[in-house]
Structure 1
Amino acid sequence: MKRVSHTELREFVFQSFSSFQEHQLILFVVFLTLYILTLAGNIIILAIIYVDHHLHMPMYFFLSVLSNSETFYSLIIIPCMLSSLVGLSQSISLEGCGTQLFFFLSFAITNCLLLAVMGYDHYVAICNPLGYSVITNWKVCAILASSVCATGFLLSLVQTVAIFRLPFCSPLIEHFFCDIWPLLDLACATPVTNDILTLIISLLAITGPATFLFKSYVLVISIILKIASAGGQKKTFATCASHLTVVIIHYGGASIVYFKPKLENTKDQDQLISVTHTVIIPLLNSVVYSLRNKEVQDALQRVQGRKFFP
């Protein structure tokens, strides 16, 4: 293969799903369906929260921010992957690749941090219910949400700049979008500094929030177990069951993607893991919050009732 220097290279070519060429039309239909369902789920959540005043509380404010972030997260990746599957475009400019990586990482990190903030909200609501309205007032919620988004975009900017300062020796990305590890594999030199930076950012965006959430839920569960009635325990735990489910799915998937050891000849396996994290998990998040959240279900019924029985 001809080696291409960083100054000469102006575009990358995706080698996505090259092992499944005979099934690419089927993959296109499946991924398009999942993408539409993800968009529909997030739009329904946003619309319900906006319309129903019962959900105008910090918990659902953070959920609306998460749904917005998940929507843009999917928008950055999936349309590009779909066009590649049907042969419309399998290349991306150097600038386009950098832009895609920046926004992908920005929303991915923001989602991880938002889940931690939502966990803090649940913790305060259960462990300090009398001070909940003071601790999580709307000003605090706005500061937390904006801080999380700013942190996500800042960490993403640092990572993206560090990667695109490297010289690349090949334009062929063995992946379906511009992600960290596929780009580092194209670097001419061994990017030790980038590996360390990626590890640090992964610890800040995944391990740190996950540790905080683990400690928070240990305290939450200890409070729940002190409730005298079984019905009270069940009702209290139900308020955070959907969030805990999403946390396990989201951080589990992210940990596999960014902490899995890099091995030889695992291109198809890596793509399958990435598909799970970028296509399936966002859908599961919206499904969990819409189907397993009783307050969202009740709000949906109220909205339907107002529509058909004004």
Structure 2
Amino acid sequence: MGRDNQTWVSEFTLLSLSSEWYTQVSLFVLFLAMYLLTVLGNSLLLLLIGLDSRLHTPMYFFLSILSCVDICYISSTVPQMLVHFLSSRKSISFYSCVFQLYVSLAMGSTEFFLLGIMAYDRYVAVCHPLHYTVIMHGGLCLGLAAGCLVSGFMNSLMQTIIIFQLPLCHNIINHFACEMLAVLRLACGDISFNEIMVTISGFLVIMLPCFLVLFSYAHIVATVLHIRSSQGRRKAFGTCTSHLIVVSMCFGTAIFTYMRPVGGSYAEQEKMGAVFYAIVTPMLNPLIYSLRNKDVVGALRKVLGKFSLKG
């Protein structure tokens, strides 16, 4: 990490979301429930996709990758957050902070890329249905998924290295986790290069996938409006509604958080935004995709029916 030029900080103190004991206990119960729901919901979705051959399609392949990413994403921050809610000493070691920032940023970056790819998948399914299996073949799907993961981890590695090369003059992080912008505020040196890199990263990781989503759905809407049958239009829109809901929540809060100046008094807003895109969205993903999807509901009924027959 090159500590010759930086003030050595052996551990950091996280301010969390509240300093009041009763509020912290209430938040502990709330976030524990959200964490368990996220892990169980995404694990169930992974199980259903694995067991039901009807779900062995590109869309559900990307959805299974998204579920794995969501489990890792929320697990990188919430368990420690829960411990801090019930602890008077809310500290994290330097290397644990580095690792937490790296993993959470990698998972978050990968999720944005995946949502963009999933929008493209829906575009091909609606606008080119006869060529869907030819275009979205297995090799392409594997390559796109691998590209999302590699890009996410490379972006995270670059940001983590340049952040922790800075001289850190403080050790109190005004956040519930070691988040990129919160750690940057601890630096007492020139962070202009970091601000540029955050802007470039935000454009590549957030805005480019967002543009891909907008492009895909603009063509989807244009194609659907040309369908004469109202039932056909409803079916076409139904295949995309779930993904669009998730995308709107995830990209909206991320753009609000990262696509503005790094400096400034935005710490509290950033914490609330982080709660939404790093905790709430991973929890809602399996609920939205399962409750609004007949194939997933059918797969769940099929599995439950097998268990009931065995009983």
**Alpha-carbon displacement from aligned partner over 1:26-71 (angstroms, at most 9, x marks no partner):** 1101110111111111011101100111101111000000000000
Shift of 1:207: 0.7
2: CA distance, partners of 1:68 / 1:76: 12
1:242·1:289 contact (CA, 8 Å) conserved in 2? yes
State the aligned residue count: 306
- How far apart are 1:88 and its partner, in Å? 6.9
Corresponding residue for residue 235 of structure 1: 235
1:254 CA displacement: 1.2
Residues 290 and 89 (structure 1 numbering): CA distance in 2 closer, same or farther, change over 3 Å? farther
Query: Which residue pairs with 1:138 in the alignment?
Result: 138
Structure 1: gaps of 5 or more residues: none
Q: How far is the alpha carbon of 1:194 from its aligned partner?
A: 0.2
Seen in structure 2, the aligned counterparts of structure 1 residues 74 and 89 have a Cα distance that, compared at 3 Å, is farther
Deviations 1:182-227 (A, max 9, x none): 1111001130100110011011111111011101111011111111
Q: Secondary structure of 1:309's match?
A: helix
3-state DSSP of counterpart to 2:12: strand
Paired residues of 1:83 and 1:89 also in contact (CA < 8 A) = no
2:197 counterpart residue number = 197
Cα distance change of structure 1 residues 78 and 89 upon mapping to structure 2, 3 Å threshold: farther
Q: Report what 1:72 is aligned to.
A: 72
Aligned AA for 1:114? Answer: L
- Consecutive unaligned residues of structure 2, counting only runs of 5 or more, are none
CA distance in 2, matches of 1:259, 1:93: 29
Partner of 1:27: 27
**Aligned 8 A contact 1:15 1:172 in 2:** yes
Computed over aligned residues only, the root mean square deviation of the Cα atoms, in angstroms, reads 1.6
Residues 7 and 169 in structure 2, CA contact (< 8 A), matched pair in contact too:
no
Deviations 1:166-196 (A, max 9, x none): 0000111111110111111100113010011
Between the aligned partners of 1:306 and 1:18, the Cα distance in structure 2 is 46
- Seen in structure 2, the aligned counterparts of structure 1 residues 94 and 293 have a Cα distance that, compared at 3 Å, is same
Q: How far apart are 1:101 and its partner, in Å?
A: 0.6
Output one character per residue of 1:70-120: Cα deviation in whole Å (capped at 9) or x when no partner: 000000010011111110752112111111111111000000000111111
Q: CA deviation at 1:268?
A: 3.4
State the SS of the aligned residue for 2:92. strand
User: Following the alignment from structure 2 to structure 1, what is the Cα–Cα distance between the partners of residues 43 and 245?
Assistant: 20
Q: How far is 1:272 from its partner?
A: 2.2
1:148–1:266 Cα change, 3 Å: closer
- Which stretch shows the higher mean deviation, 48-57 or 252-261? 252-261
**How far has the Cα of 1:245 moved from its partner?**
1.0
2:251 paired residue number = 251
2:304 is matched with 304
Scaled by the length of structure 2, the TM-score of the pair is 0.94
Q: 1:14 aligned to 2:14?
A: yes
Bigger shift: 139-148 or 86-95? 86-95
Alpha-carbon shift at residue 9 of structure 1 (Å): 1.4
Which piece of structure 1 moves more, 212-221 or 80-89? 80-89
For the Cα contact (< 8 Å) 1:41–1:290, is it kept in 2? no
Query: By how many angstroms is 1:266 displaced?
Result: 4.7
Q: Which residue of 1 aligns with 2:127?
A: 127
Shifted more, 15-24 versus 60-69: the winner is: 15-24
Q: CA offset at residue 148 of structure 1?
A: 0.8
Q: CA deviation at 1:307?
A: 2.2
Match for 1:189: what amino acid? G
Match of 1:48? 48
Identical amino acids, percent of aligned pairs: 39
Q: Secondary structure at the match of 1:227?
A: coil
